[in-house]
C-alpha cells in the first residue's frame, strides 16, 4: 500500500531513521557492552533493559524503512485544487448544529487535531477526500453520524 507524504514529512522521517541507525544504535550497543562487562547476564537488569531498548529501536527502524519505501512524495503541481486532497484546508459546516470548522488534511504522521490537522485516514478525512465545494458528506464518528457541507477548499 503506497502512502502519500508531504516533502517535509518524508524528510523528517528520513532524518529520524538516520539518527536511529547511527547515533541511537551506537549508544545502545555501548550500553549493552557496558552491562555485559558487569558479569552474570541472567541477573543483570541493565543488560535486560539495554536489550529491550535495542529490540524497540530495531522495530522502529524497520517500521520507518518500510514506510519510506512505500511512500510517494506529494507533487503539489499535480493537484486538482477544486477537490479536497492531501494538504487542503477545508471549511465545513456541521449541518446538525450550524457550526463551521476548518480542517487541514495531512498524512497520518503529521496529524495534530489541536492544530486542526486531521489525517486523510481519519473518518472525516476519508469522507472529505475527492469532494468539491457544495457537496455534503455523512461521517460516522464516535459521537454518532455527522453531516458536513463543504464551504471552501484552500491550498495555502
Tell me: do 130 and 89 sit in the same domain.
yes
Residues paired with residue 71 on neighbouring β-strands, in sequence order: 3
What's 140's domain CATH number? Answer: 3.10.50.30
Per-residue DSSP letter, 132: B
40 vs 99: CA distance, rounded Å: 65
What's 8's domain CATH number? Answer: 1.10.287.180
DSSP string computed for 36-56? HTTS-GGG-HHHHHHHHHHHH
Among 138, 109, 115, 120, residue whose Cα is nearest residue 84: 120
Give me the tens of pLDDT residue by residue for the chain, a chain 156 residues long.
567 777 888 899 999 999 999 999 999 999 988 888 877 666 778 888 899 999 999 999 999 999 899 888 877 777 777 899 888 999 999 998 999 999 999 888 888 989 989 999 899 999 999 999 999 999 998 888 999 999 999 987
Length of the chain counted residue by residue = 156
Which of 73, 99, 116 terminates a domain? The answer is: 73
The pTM score is: 0.62
Which of 73, 88, 121 terminates a domain? The answer is: 73
Tell me: do 130 and 143 sit in the same domain.
yes
Which of 13, 43, 73 terminates a domain? The answer is: 73
- Domain containing 144 equals 77-154
Q: How many domains does the chain have?
A: 2
Amino acid at each position: 500500500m503506497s502512502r502519500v507524504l508531504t516533502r517535509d514529512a518524508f524528510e523528517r522521517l528520513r532524518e529520524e531513521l538516520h539518527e536511529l541507525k547511527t547515533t541511537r544504535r551506537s549508544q545502545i550497543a555501548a550500553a549493552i557492552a557496558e552491562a555485559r562487562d558487569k558479569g552474570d547476564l541472567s541477573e543483570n537488569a541493565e543488560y535486560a533493559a539495554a536489550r529491550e531498548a535495542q529490540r524497540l529501536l530495531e522495530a522502529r527502524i524497520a517500521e520507518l524503512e518500510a514506510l519510506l519505501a512505500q511512500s510517494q512524495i506529494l507533487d503539489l503541481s499535480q493537484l486538482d485544487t477544486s477537490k479536497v486532497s492531501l494538504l487542503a484546508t477545508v471549511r465545513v459546516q456541521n449541518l446538525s448544529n450550524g457550526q463551521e470548522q476548518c480542517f487541514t488534511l495531512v498524512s497520518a504522521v503529521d496529524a495534530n487535531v489541536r492544530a486542526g490537522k486531521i489525517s486523510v485516514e481519519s473518518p472525516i478525512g476519508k469522507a472529505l477526500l475527492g469532494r468539491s465545494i457544495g457537496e455534503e458528506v455523512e461521517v460516522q464518528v464516535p459521537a454518532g453520524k455527522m453531516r458536513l457541507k463543504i464551504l471552501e477548499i484552500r491550498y495555502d
